[in-house]
Structure 1
Amino acid sequence: MEILKLPVGIENFEDIRRSGFYYIDKTMFIEQFLNTWSEVTLFTRPRRFGFTDKDVQEILTYFNLSEHYADVKEWYDGYHFGNANVYCPWDVINYVDLLRLEPTAKPQDFWSNSSENALVRNFIDKANVQTKYEIERLIAGEYIEKEISQELTYDEIDKSISNLWSVLFTTGYLTKQGVTDDGRVRLSIPNREIKNLFIKKIREWFSDTTANDGKTLEQFCNAFVDKDTEKIEELFGDYLWNTISIRDTAVAKDKKENFYHGILLGLLGYKASWLIKSNTESGTGYSDILVEVPNNRTGIVIELKYAENGDMDAACDEALKQIEEKSYVDKLKQDGMRNFIKYGIACFKKDCKVVVSE
C-alpha cells in the first residue's frame, strides 16, 4: 500500500495553500486515487477534512487577523464530519490569503465559480411546489427532515428530487443538524456563503423562467405607464406566488425589502428601451427605483416597503410620503423627463399592494 502524507498543521500553511490538498472535492484528489489504483481503501479522520473552531482561531491569531473571526464563522462554518464541527478549509485558506494581501477585504463566495454549482440550479429547475416551500424554509434559516442515501451511483443522482437532496448533503451544500428517531436527517444551509449561492441560483432561475413569457412581462411593464394599479398588483402578486421566496427571517426589515426590490428590478428590465436606475441619489436621498421612458418622457418613481406587521395600506402611504419628502422626482427632472408617476408598493410575504400618485 502506498501512503501519501498530507500537510495539516499551521506550520504547513504555505504548503497547504499551494498544493490544494485542503479541499479534496475541488481538486478531484479522490478521483485521482481511483484512476491510479484499481482498489482503494480510504481511511479518514473527520477533522482532516475541515478546520475546527480552534484551528481557525489559531490560524487567524498566527496572521494577526483575529478581528475577522466573526466573519469567518458566519461565512464558512457549519459543517459536520463525524463528531467534529468544522469550517470549509477551502474558504478559510482563500479568505486568509486574501486578507494577507488586503487587510480590509470582505468575505467572498469562493464557491461561486465552481462547476459543481450547476447541481443547485438543476435542483431548483426540478423543484415542485413542496420542494420550493422547503427551499424557502432553508433560506429563512430553518431545517427540514429528509431520508438521505450516501450510496447513490452517478446514474441515480438525477432520477428524483429525493436523490438530489442526498447529493446536496453529501457535496456540502447542506449540512446535518441532527437525526430524527426514524433516521431522517435534519438538513440546513451551513453558512452565509452557501445561502448566497442558493439565492444567486434562485434569481437566475426566476430571470430565465419569466423571460419565457414576454407577453405577460409586456403587460406588467405597460401597466406602470398606464397607472393601472390593479394590473400591477395582479401580475406582481402572481410573480411573487410562483417564485421561491428569498426571505431571511433573521435579517432586518430593509434587508427583506431587498428581495422584492430585486424581483421588481428584474421584471422592469424586460423593457430594453427604458432606462432603469436602482438606489440612485435623487433629491435628499436614494430612491429605490427610477424609470425613464424616453418615447413620451415619462419618469416613474417606485418606493418599496416591507409591511412587517401586514399593514400594507400604511406601508404604501409611508412609501409615497418618503418620495415627496425626499424629492425623488428631482433626478428625473434633471434628466429631462416631463411627466411623473409615483408608486408606493408594499409587500408582505407573497402579497403586495400598489398605490399611485402624480
Structure 2
Amino acid sequence: MNTPRKLPIGVQSFEKLRRAGYLYIDKTSFLWQLVQVSSPYFLSRPRRFGKSLFLSTLAAYFRGQKELFKGLYLEKAEEEQAAQENRTPWQAYPVLYLDFNTENYNDEKSMHTILHTHLVQWEKQYETDTSEQTFSSRFKGIIRRAYQQTGKQVVILVDEYDKPLLQTMGVNEELNEHYRNTLKAFYSVIKTCDQYIRFAFLTGVTKFSKISIFSDLNNLKDISLHESYAGMCGITQKELETNFQPEIQALAEKQKLDYAQALAALKQWYDGYLFHPAGEGMYNPYSILNAFDDKELKSYWFGTGTPTFLVNFLKEAHYYIPDLDGNVELDEEGLQTYRAVAQDALPILFQAGYLTIKEYIGDLKLYRLGFPNNEVRYGFLRNLLPVYSDVPFGQTGVWVGRFIQDIRKGNVDEFMGRMQAIIASIPYDDFPKAKLKLREQNYQAAVYLVFELMGQFVQTEVHCSTGRADAVVITADSVYIFEFKLSGNGSAEDALNQIQKNHYAERYKADGKKIVLIGSSFDEETRTIKDWKTEVWEG
C-alpha cells in the first residue's frame, strides 16, 4: 500500500514545509527575480493563495538558511551569482517580519496590540529609544539601529497588511478610517528609511491606490498584474499535472472517473484565476490540496469566508447580477481602486478573488471580468439569494435542492409555487413605484439566481436577451423551457405563445426527450407570479 504524500494544507512556514518533507512546488525562480533589485514591492492576491508561504520563503532566503533551498532553483542561482560577484553566498540580513494574520480587528486596541507586540520584539534585538513614542517613530528607529548594529541593510516583510481594513470595511467605517491613517504613517517609514533597507515586500488582498494608505510610499512597485509574476502564487496546469499525478489518480478512482475526467473536473471547479491577460490560468492551491486530501470536489476556499458586506453592496448599487458571470468591465485604474463602497464594490470583488480576468480588450484598455470557476460561481450566488429573498442564510442549498427534486419528478406546479413564494418574499418597499424597473430587477435577480444555482445539479441555460427563452432546464429525460412576463408585458398565455412562435424548442427536439413549455405572468398588485400555463410535447 502506497503511503499518501504530505500535502502542505494550511502550512505557511517555508522552514516547516521543507524540514518536515511536505510536497513543494518550486516557486523560488520568482523570488530570485525579485531580490535582484532593492525596490519595495507589493503583491495582491486572494486569501489562502500562498502569499504567506512566499513571504516565509523570502524570510528564509534573507536569513541565509541555505539548507532549506537544497535542490531548488534558488540554490544554484545564489551560488553562481555569488561567485560572479566575488561575494560570500547566503548572506544573512536583519529581517523585520510583520504578520497581521493573528488578530481580529474589532476595536482600536486590536491593531495597536499587533504593532506594539512586533515593535517590542524588534526593540529587544536592536535596543529601545524612549524618545520614540509613536508607532512610526519606533519603527524608523528600529530600522536605523538594525542597520548600524549589523552593518547590513534591513529586510521588511509584511503579511496581509490590509486585514484590519477588510475586517472593518462596511462594518465600522470610523475604525476603518483610523486604521488607514495609522498604517499610512507607519508604512511611510519604508520610504524615509530607504538608505537602510535592502528589500521590502508587502502582501494583501486589496490593492493600493494613490489616495490610499500607500500614498506617501510612492516608490512601491505593484506587481499584482505584472506578467512576469502572474504565476508566483497558485498552481498552473503544468504544475498540477507534473506534481500531483498520484493525487489526481486517487481522486479519479474515488469519484469513479477516469484520469482525464478527473483533470477536467478539477479545472472546472478550481482553475481560472488570471492575474495578467497574457498569463496562465491559476488553480486555487487551498482548494486543490483539500480536494486531493478528501478525494472530493467541494467548496473549500469559499467556505472559509463569506463576503457579506460585498453582496449587500451589490444590491444597494442595483447591480445587474447576470453580468457578474463574465460581463463586468473595468479599466486598470478601476481594478486598483482601494475603497469598497456600495457604488463601487466590483474592484474589491476582483481583488478578493470572486471575479477574475476573462478577457482584455486591448484597444479600449478594458478588462472583462467574471467568476473564475464553479467553486466561486456557486458559492457567491448561494450567498446572493438570501439578499434578494427571504431564503435564510445558510439554507440556500436546501431551497435549491427542493427545486431540483420538483423538476426531476416533473412537478411543474410545485416548482412554480416555490418560485412564486420566493418572489413574493422580496420587500415591496425597497423602491417607490417611480422606480419600477429597479423593483423588477430584484425580481429578475431572484429568478436568475434560482436557475443558475440549479446548474450545479442539472444542465441549465439562463438567458436575458430577446429572442431566447428566459431559462431552460435539461434533465435526464425532459427539457423545461420557461418564459416570464413582468409588469403588464403579457399574460401566461402570451408567454407560452412566445415560446411557440419563436421556436425556442426546435434545438431540443432531436434529443427525443419530453419537452415542457412553461409560460408565466407577473402580477404587480400581489408582487409575485400571477399564474402559469404549461404545454407538454412528448419526444
Indicate the SS of the match to 2:281: strand
Deviation at 1:171, TM superposition (A): 1.4
Query: How has the CA–CA distance of structure 1 residues 185 and 244 changed in structure 2, closer, same or farther, with 3 Å as cutoff?
Result: farther
**Partner Cα separation in structure 2 for residue 15 and residue 242 of structure 1:** 40
What RMSD in Å do the two structures reach over aligned CA positions? 4.9
2:518 corresponding residue in structure 1? 346
**Partner Cα separation in structure 1 for residue 282 and residue 521 of structure 2:** 34
**Partner Cα separation in structure 2 for residue 138 and residue 59 of structure 1:** 33
Q: Which amino acid aligns with 2:388?
A: F
Q: Which amino acid aligns with 2:308?
A: A
Matched, 1:144 2:166: no
**Partner Cα separation in structure 2 for residue 16 and residue 254 of structure 1:** 34
Q: TM-score normalised to the size of structure 2?
A: 0.36
Indicate the SS of the match to 1:245: helix
2:201 corresponding residue in structure 1? 41
Matched, 1:167 2:345: no
Please tell me whether the aligned partners of residues 138 and 189 of structure 1 are also in contact (alpha carbons under 8 angstroms): yes
Q: How many residues align?
A: 240
Matched, 1:186 2:346: no
Q: Which amino acid aligns with 2:378?
A: N
Unaligned runs of 5+ in 2: 14-24, 26-44, 56-97, 100-156, 162-186, 191-199, 203-222, 251-258, 394-412, 426-438, 463-478, 485-493, 500-515, 523-528, 535-539
Deviation at 1:186, TM superposition (A): 0.7
Matched, 1:307 2:491: no
**Partner Cα separation in structure 2 for residue 305 and residue 89 of structure 1:** 38
1:195 corresponding residue in structure 2? 377
Query: How has the CA–CA distance of structure 1 residues 253 and 48 changed in structure 2, closer, same or farther, with 3 Å as cutoff?
Result: closer
Query: How has the CA–CA distance of structure 1 residues 161 and 85 changed in structure 2, closer, same or farther, with 3 Å as cutoff?
Result: same
**Partner Cα separation in structure 2 for residue 199 and residue 80 of structure 1:** 21
Show the 5 A alignment for 1:231-270: 240-241=443-444, 243=446, 245-246=448-449, 247-248=451-452, 255-256=459-460
Deviation at 1:116, TM superposition (A): 4.8
**Partner Cα separation in structure 1 for residue 457 and residue 531 of structure 2:** 17
Indicate the SS of the match to 2:267: helix
Please tell me whether the aligned partners of residues 176 and 187 of structure 1 are also in contact (alpha carbons under 8 angstroms): yes
**Partner Cα separation in structure 2 for residue 352 and residue 72 of structure 1:** 42
Query: How has the CA–CA distance of structure 1 residues 179 and 198 changed in structure 2, closer, same or farther, with 3 Å as cutoff?
Result: same
Query: How has the CA–CA distance of structure 1 residues 199 and 252 changed in structure 2, closer, same or farther, with 3 Å as cutoff?
Result: closer
Q: Which amino acid aligns with 2:448?
A: S
**Partner Cα separation in structure 1 for residue 47 and residue 231 of structure 2:** 15
Deviation at 1:78, TM superposition (A): 0.6
Please tell me whether the aligned partners of residues 235 and 285 of structure 2 are also in contact (alpha carbons under 8 angstroms): yes
Q: Determine which of 19, 23, 30 is the counterpart of 2:11.
A: 19
Indicate the SS of the match to 1:177: strand
1:121 corresponding residue in structure 2? 311
Q: Determine which of 272, 285, 288 is the counterpart of 1:78.
A: 272
**CA displacement 1:235-255 (0-9 Å, x = unmatched):** 699674463623459969964
Please tell me whether the aligned partners of residues 520 and 533 of structure 2 are also in contact (alpha carbons under 8 angstroms): no
**CA displacement 1:293-329 (0-9 Å, x = unmatched):** xxxxxxxxxxx953379963799xxxxxxxxxxxxxx
Q: Which has the larger radius of gyration?
A: 2
Please tell me whether the aligned partners of residues 357 and 367 of structure 2 are also in contact (alpha carbons under 8 angstroms): yes
Q: Which amino acid aligns with 2:233?
A: F
Deviation at 1:201, TM superposition (A): 1.3
Q: Determine which of 280, 293, 316 is the counterpart of 1:97.
A: 293
**Partner Cα separation in structure 1 for residue 443 and residue 367 of structure 2:** 30
**Partner Cα separation in structure 1 for residue 7 and residue 312 of structure 2:** 35
Query: How has the CA–CA distance of structure 1 residues 166 and 257 changed in structure 2, closer, same or farther, with 3 Å as cutoff?
Result: closer
**Partner Cα separation in structure 1 for residue 497 and residue 456 of structure 2:** 20
Please tell me whether the aligned partners of residues 143 and 188 of structure 1 are also in contact (alpha carbons under 8 angstroms): yes
**CA displacement 1:16-70 (0-9 Å, x = unmatched):** 3251469872388377242799643357833221111111223441333435111
Q: Which amino acid aligns with 2:262?
A: H
Please tell me whether the aligned partners of residues 346 and 353 of structure 1 are also in contact (alpha carbons under 8 angstroms): no
Q: TM-score normalised to the size of structure 1?
A: 0.52
Please tell me whether the aligned partners of residues 9 and 289 of structure 2 are also in contact (alpha carbons under 8 angstroms): yes
